Structure 1
Amino acid sequence: MYDHTMDPSGDVVLTLKNPNAPFALVTADDSVTFLVSSRHLILASPVLKAALTGGWKEGITSDASHIRGISSSEWDVEAMTILMSIIHHRWSQVPRVVDLELLGKIAIVVDYYQINETVQLMGELWIERLLQKPLPDSYGRELLLWMCVSSVYKDHAIFKHATEVAIWHCPRDVETLQLPIPLAAIARINELRREIPFTITNSLEQLKSDYLWGFKGCNDACRSIQIGALMMKTYSLDLQNRCSGQPLQDGLSLARLVESIRGMETPLWHGHDSDCAQSYRSSLSLCLCRAPHTCRSVQLGFVVGLPPSESSGILSEYAQALASRVEGQMEGLDLSGYI
């Protein structure tokens, strides 16, 4: 009579329509029924309590036997069966190990019916078993599932890791895939992906200004060559004249951007050695001691609060210090601010 009997003396039939729908794109005539106890549902879920006691049509009596009916749709049958088993204390029917895919499906239902407290203990057990393998260190569907699971089960450490990876490695704006991830957290991740390049741009613009005003670089030739290399790199990364809130090139992650900054090189060129006894007597004179240029000037552009190497007038040193500073400031989001 019922597909799943959670309570033989139950007084509610929970009907799951269009079960196992992947994206809620189709309408099917299939349905799965659960005979459940209204007492257990009311205690476990404020959403189901409202449906059963608030006069909603989902809570109407279905026949003369006084068994009421509740309809839901598109949840995964296995996930719903596990949750109903937990709510009805049928612990022998509750798996001790689930994969990430199923845990994500369970988390979606937990979030919708607000049964976090009821499932919290099992959620922690499932997560502990899954953590026997390392968390993903690249952006993708698996990372978003972990972001969903950690937010629903309030695992602060996993959420911080997942959001840091998303900020650092996502090649475009982060999407939720319709998972119950706090929208404010997604918005903050995407905001940081715009703020950090803007900060990098400002630092590189300051370096360019220091070259132009003579605060960095030991002579005009030194400054001209280094500013040319700097401008070519910023144009190749679309960092020139960047406005606050402007997104990165599609496909470019912050990790790749910072690695490109770190890879900036100081051009190698041969110039006149000012210490050479054969100093130039005219623009046509030829010095026999044209050695690779070494920038030895005292740097006047030191900025208080920055690491000493970031005050360097040598492009490669400045870029490496800037990249290290950005990496050192990078961290994931604190879940406490989004629940």
Structure 2
Amino acid sequence: MNPTLHKLDPTGDTHLTLLNPNPPFAAYITLLENAMPQHNTPYEAWEANNNERRLWNAPVESQFNGSITGFIQMQLSSKHLQLAFDYFSKMMANKNWKESIPKDGFSFSATASGWNGEAFLTVMRILHAKTTMLPQIINLEMLAKVAVIIDYY
């Protein structure tokens, strides 16, 4: 089964692949079984606190096993990406980056990983002035996902 290629710019010269779309977003994970206070020995209290701290300091990959569960492909305009984001501007200007090497008929081939697919497509649609493809209303969580992507790039 071939994945869908979202052609946000039919004459676009950039191929972007979003790997591992839709990982958990701002998931609250806790090791505490009961929310009500209980009597613990000093050692039990110390152990519970350290287990909680270890979980929050764990790398993100270990929280959802880091496996690639799918991908989304997009055909984009490098000019739109360069004008909107310094990240892409620097990437495409530097010939030492692997993304700046032409591949598969595209001038640029980039990958991104771990973003929400719908939020990433929303950002790219806004960037390419495809506003008729945007929902009229989005919820707060989707707004947060879009804001995180924009802040990153």
Shorter-chain TM-score above 0.5: yes
Residue of structure 2 equivalent to 1:83: 123
Contact persistence 1:16–1:75 (CA under 8 A): yes
Unaligned runs of 5+ in 2: 25-59
Residue of structure 1 equivalent to 2:91: 51
Alpha-carbon distance, 1:70 to partner: 0.4
In the alignment, residue 57 of structure 1 is paired with which amino acid? K
SS of the counterpart of 2:138?
coil
Q: TM (normalized to structure 2)?
A: 0.67
Alpha-carbon distance, 1:15 to partner: 0.5
Residue of structure 2 equivalent to 1:94: 134
Q: Which gives a bigger RCO, structure 1 or 2 (Cα 8 Å, sep 6+)?
A: 2
Distance in 2, Cα, partners of 1:19 & 1:34: 13
The one-character-per-residue Cα deviations of 1:150-208 (angstroms, maximum 9, x if unpaired) are xxxxxxxxxxxxxxxxxxxxxxxxxxxxxxxxxxxxxxxxxxxxxxxxxxxxxxxxxxx
The one-character-per-residue Cα deviations of 1:269-312 (angstroms, maximum 9, x if unpaired) are xxxxxxxxxxxxxxxxxxxxxxxxxxxxxxxxxxxxxxxxxxxx
Contact persistence 1:4–1:34 (CA under 8 A): yes
Residue of structure 2 equivalent to 1:17: 19
Residue of structure 2 equivalent to 1:6: 8
Contact persistence 1:18–1:30 (CA under 8 A): yes
Alpha-carbon distance, 1:4 to partner: 1.0
How many residue pairs get matched?
112
In the alignment, residue 60 of structure 1 is paired with which amino acid? I
Residue of structure 2 equivalent to 1:62: 103
Alpha-carbon distance, 1:2 to partner: 4.4
Higher strand share: 2
Alpha-carbon distance, 1:27 to partner: 1.6
Unaligned runs of 5+ in 1: 114-339
Higher helix share: 1
In the alignment, residue 18 of structure 1 is paired with which amino acid? N
Q: CA RMSD in A?
A: 1.6
Distance in 1, Cα, partners of 2:10 & 2:150: 24
